Structure 1
Amino acid sequence: MSTAGTIVILTGAGVSAESGIATFRGPGGLWEGHRVEDVCTPAALARDAALVHRFYDLRRAALDTVTPNAAHDALARLDAAWPGELLIVTQNVDDLHERAGARRLLHVHGELRSALCAACGSRRAWHDALPPATICPACAAPALRPDIVFFGEIPYEMERVEAALARADLFVSIGTSGAVYPAAGFVRAAAAAGAATLELNLERSAGSAWFDETRLGPAGVLVPAWVDAVLAR
């Protein structure tokens, strides 16, 4: 990789876990005590909107109790200092990357602090509770919902991600399970385009075999060390 090469970074729940945000799948496949099918699918929203909205209201409110950790801070430092192209693609719906200072950032699974209108498709910043049938300021429909990409829905800006992967000199996956597509396929896309590939994770992911190198340990330790090495080149 040249001194100003293109870096694409994928982050998952393991990056935010050290800040106290629960990883997506806990014991038994539950998400903070709920079946994913009950809180993260279009069918769940249609069946019990009150439950789904309440679940995300609680997650949104919980963001006020957590702060970015050393991994977020290191990636923000890389974002600010790297002279080449860089894109942080996060599967996380928290705002810890932004609060650490990252700017070259894309949330492919949506954001807790955003609301989506199911009627007109507009999105807007949202920090308070979001009851079902909240009126959309853009179109006046009672159709605001959490701006979360549910299972079965298409992640945001995939064309932009694919274009970045095609240009990448280095692809780094941090704190991800390697089990959820399309993100699980990013490493192969990057490698096919000629990029070097690196995994930083607490344990080997489902896709570890596809990476050139895997380093194991806490994100709060591995990521700052990697960023220091990259910026020292």
Structure 2
Amino acid sequence: MGEEPVKSNSKNGTDAPKINEPSEADPCMIEFKNSFYKPKFLENTVRRGCEKTGFTPIGVYIAAILLILLIILLIVVLVLAITWPRQPHHLQFPVCEKPACLRAAAQIQENWNSSISPCQNVWQWACNGWLNKNSLPSGRSLWSIHEQVKLEEFSRIHDYISTLELPLYSQMVEWKMKYLYEGCLNIDNINVDKATPLVHIISQFEIQEEDDDIWPEFPEGFMETMDAIEEMIDIGVI
């Protein structure tokens, strides 16, 4: 077998050195292509941006960054708009409009001591104003806002019932309430007499006591006795 002739790479009759170009099977070909096309694509994009906007390449980069930030901001705004509550937070809770609520709010505001910071002493800030205005009453070892409100409520009820016009009929609720309240206020006589008036009334109907001084749960003639007591003292007991 003869040797194959060596092909010469000649130009104009002279031998030129052969350049080893990468073949298609060369693993470096992929890296070579990526390094060739990627800057080319970015360069072409920047060049087209400069032609359309008239910016410099740095201006095109800055504009692209600002555009990306603007898109992110729009996405955030859309997400917030979708998840935003339909009803404002301050309207999700009932507003203090009733007289009792307004009165309590006014009392709380009056008890504040604005000269003290709540961050330093929250108790002095919330209660010191009330303590300065309300000293401990004589005859009481305990005095608080609850005790004060209770006393004011008792006074209000007392004034209301005391000034209530006496109804014409004793079977009316107003008359019974006034009569019962005035009877409960007569504490001295109640403590002295104790159950004597009731025992005297019941003894008139000859109800006999059982063993161990305990009356039966339903004595004979119980309803008739209650009706008679109602007619005697003019107050419905049932």
Normalised TM-score (structure 1): 0.18
Structure having the higher Rg: 2
Bigger share in helix: 2
